[in-house]
Amino acid sequence: MKWIMLPLNILQAVAILAWTVFSGLLALILRLFFSPRKVVLFISHWLWSPVMLLLTGMHLRVSGREHILKDRPAIFISNHVSQLDILVLVRAITVPLFFVAKAELRKVPVLSQYMQAMGMIFVDRRDKEMAMVSMRKAIERIREGADVVTFPEGTRSKSDEPLLFKRGTFVIAREGQIPVVPVAIRGTRRMLPSGSFTLRPGKVEVIIGKPVEPEVFAHLSPEEMATCFRMRVLELLGQ
């Protein structure tokens, strides 16, 4: 059985890589003619992600789409347990999403060029001064109309329980007076756990919570917000 499955896994990996590279290159061409928001929504939500669901064998269920703000941008915060989480979010959330990503992704060919062309935000957590500059840039991008996604844990959890949330996202939300939408992802860890290269088909659920307006957390510090929003994500996960 293992001998039979190996070629299938290799073919699957090649197809996933080829489709991702094609989508990224097409996005770079389209960016010459259209705004980042239009390109991001078309490429990630309508083109790349539907095919990726088929290639990965994922059955996605989404609830709470009515909580997505259509009239103004927000910060979506989510738990993070698998490399599949980005795929899941861009398919589940029906607005163009811009990610706050770790600086190491600048070294990844095509992906780096795509993210920079679209105006994604890179954060170097090892350099506090540069991290603050990135946060200010994130506030500007959101005020310009960009919906931003962050994983406040800072890395992928190796269990279904989220790690402690870091304060950076909530500095952005508090200083920028930006609504925060909690999101919970269930099922991606079983399909592709952190540190694993074995992809299994499976069911994934995304639960989008109600947005929290800036006036609700105005009296909280970023550290207190991190604790409160972690609890909200835990509630969405049913934990």
- The tens digit of pLDDT for each residue in 38-67 reads 999 999 999 999 999 999 999 999 999 999
Contact criterion met (CB below 8 Å) for 110 and 132: no
Is 1 a residue whose pLDDT tops 60?
Answer: no
Partners of 181 in beta bridges: 76
**Is the pTM for the entire model greater than 0.85?**
yes
Q: What is the pLDDT of residue 5?
A: 40
How many CA atoms lie less than 13 Å away from 94 in the CB half-sphere?
A: 10
Confidence category of residue 125, pLDDT binned at 50, 70, 90: low
Under DSSP, is residue 207 helix (H, G, I), strand (E, B) or coil? strand
Contact criterion met (CB below 8 Å) for 150 and 212: no
Task: Give Cβ neighbours of residue 192 (< 8 Å, ≥ 6 apart).
Answer: 82, 83, 84, 198, 199, 200
Query: Using CA atoms, how far apart are residues 80 and 178, in angstroms rounded to an integer?
Result: 22
Average pLDDT over residues 94-119: 81
Q: What is the pLDDT of residue 202?
A: 94
Cα 2 from chain centroid?
A: 33
Structure confidence by residue, pLDDT tens digits, 137-158: 788 888 888 899 999 998 888 8
Q: What is the pLDDT of residue 27?
A: 95
The CATH number corresponding to 2-237 among 3.10.450, 3.40.50, 1.10.3470, 3.40.1130 equals 3.40.1130
Is 223 a residue whose pLDDT tops 70?
Answer: yes
Under DSSP, is residue 219 helix (H, G, I), strand (E, B) or coil? coil
Structure tokens at 6: 């190996």
Query: Using CA atoms, how far apart are residues 78 and 82, in angstroms rounded to an integer?
Result: 12
Structure tokens at 190: 């079983």
Residue 219: count of CB within 10 angstroms of its CB: 7
Choose between 90 and 156: higher pLDDT.
90
Q: What is the pLDDT of residue 120?
A: 83
Strand ranges across the sheet with 97-102: 58-63, 202-208, 180-186, 75-78, 147-150, 97-102, 121-123
Q: Which amino acid is at 13?
A: A
Query: Using CA atoms, how far apart are residues 14 and 50, in angstroms rounded to an integer?
Result: 17
Average pLDDT over residues 31-38: 94
Average pLDDT over residues 81-106: 88
Backbone dihedral angles phi then psi of residue 22, each to the nearest 5 degrees: -60, -45
Structure confidence by residue, pLDDT tens digits, 165-220: 998 899 989 989 999 999 999 999 999 887 777 888 999 999 999 999 999 999 99
Q: Which amino acid is at 110?
A: V
Query: Using CA atoms, how far apart are residues 106 and 206, in angstroms rounded to an integer?
Result: 28
Length of the chain as a residue count: 239
